[in-house]
Structure 1
Amino acid sequence: MPRATPTSGPRVVLVGPPGAGKSTVAAALAERWQLESRDTDTDVETAAGKSVADVFVEDGEPHFRALERTAVATALGEHEGVLALGGGAVLDPATRALLQAYRDGGGVVVFLDVSLAHAAGRVGLNQSRPLLVGSPRAQWQSLMDVRRPVYEEVATVRVSTDGLRPAEVAEVIETTLREQRIAEPGA
């Protein structure tokens, strides 16, 4: 039986690690479906008046996570397009509960998975990613060891982005939703 499209909130929420392409895939999918895309990291930057990296350095991770929690809750409540969450947003229990309620209401959460080899080329594993400072490859792998089970827990479907351009990932998402009989916009 097809899943119902949610009556409010995003049509699709994208989660995944740094380098999975959440923001660019959200934009590609939104364009494909003629919807708006939104990124909670951008919402945090707007609220803080500075970059995510600066929030981490100047205000600390707990402050960033509080801003992120608010950004996710707000976006889940008011955005009706494609929503990309920051990579660590799913670690917050309140955010996971919101995502579960969203899924229970017919929403779709897509885990954009990526291997270290492909993520490294995409993000450069540089200092603009505050949690990857030091030994970026080891930090990324450590993050994934902790986060992978959580991404899998909150996700409706998993899509690998390895070797694919954002438009191709958007097409895979659309095809996967159709094949699994999960309603998507325009269906």
Structure 2
Amino acid sequence: MGAGKTTVATLLAEAYDVTARDTDTDVEAAEGRSISDIFVESGEAHFRALERDAVAAALASHTGVLSLGGGAVLDETTRDLLAGHRVVFLRVGLTEAVKRVGLGAGRPLLFGNVRARIKATLEERAPIYESVATVVVDTDETSPDDVARRIQEALTP
């Protein structure tokens, strides 16, 4: 969270002349409500199932740049589906994530002590992100344009 996934995906899609797609947006469109509302009204397990289905559908049909929600790779099925795809992990440090996310408004996993929740989330997820990534790009103190350029360089044979 706060790594710039959606922004960087849009920049990459423009650079490669393809479309960008965001699975969080797909989930919200399919449900007709925000992710925060899904979490509050139906629970995290329901959201994760919707997210898993959205990723599977996007991987099966989308040929452009795909931005996954920050928790998508926690699901083993999703990790299996990502095998064979080029996966970029946008690594963000705690200080930068806190600056970018702010007080976490609209982020259901951040209710309570925002800094502590972000720290715990980063520590929990980083090894999983790294295990599925074919490219890792640090985003701290780096503009989205520079992040996109670094990704392009890393993906160019």
> TM-score range, shorter-chain basis?
over 0.9
Partner of 2:9: 26
Q: Deviations over 1:32-65 (max 9, x none)?
A: 1111000000000001100111100111101100
CA distance in 1, matches of 2:138, 2:103: 19
Structure 2 gaps, min length 5:
none
Q: Say if 2:139 and 2:147, in contact at 8 Å, map to a contact too.
A: yes
2:114 aligns with 136
Measure, in 1, the Cα distance between the counterparts of 2:43 and 2:30: 15
Greater RCO, CA 8 A, separation 6+: 1
Give the residue type in structure 1 aligned to 2:135.
V
Per the alignment, residue 20 of structure 2 pairs with 37
Within the candidate set 99, 110, 128, 2:88 is matched to 110
| Structure 1 unaligned regions, length at least 5 | 1-17, 182-187
Distance 2:86 2:35 in 1: 26
- Report the RMSD for the aligned CA atoms in angstroms: 0.9
1:127 partnered with 2:140: no
Q: 1:82 aligns with which of 53, 61, 65?
A: 65
Aligned length: 157
Q: Secondary structure at the match of 1:83?
A: strand
Give the distance between the partners of 2:61 and 2:136, measured in 1 at CA. Answer: 25
Query: What is the distance in 1 between the residues matched to 2:139 and 2:123?
Result: 18
Pick from 68, 72, 79 the counterpart of residue 55 of structure 2. 72
2:37 matched to 1:54?
A: yes
CA distance in 1, matches of 2:100, 2:121: 16
Rounded to whole Å, the distance in 2 between the matches of 1:55 and 1:165 is: 31
With the length of structure 2 as denominator, give the TM-score of the two structures. Answer: 0.97
Identical residues among aligned pairs (%): 57
Amino acid in the other structure paired with 1:150: I
CA–CA distance in 1 between the matches of 2:76 and 2:119? 22
The answer on whether the counterparts of 2:39 and 2:108 sit within 8 Å (CA) in structure 1 is yes
Question: Which structure features the higher share of helix residues?
Answer: 2
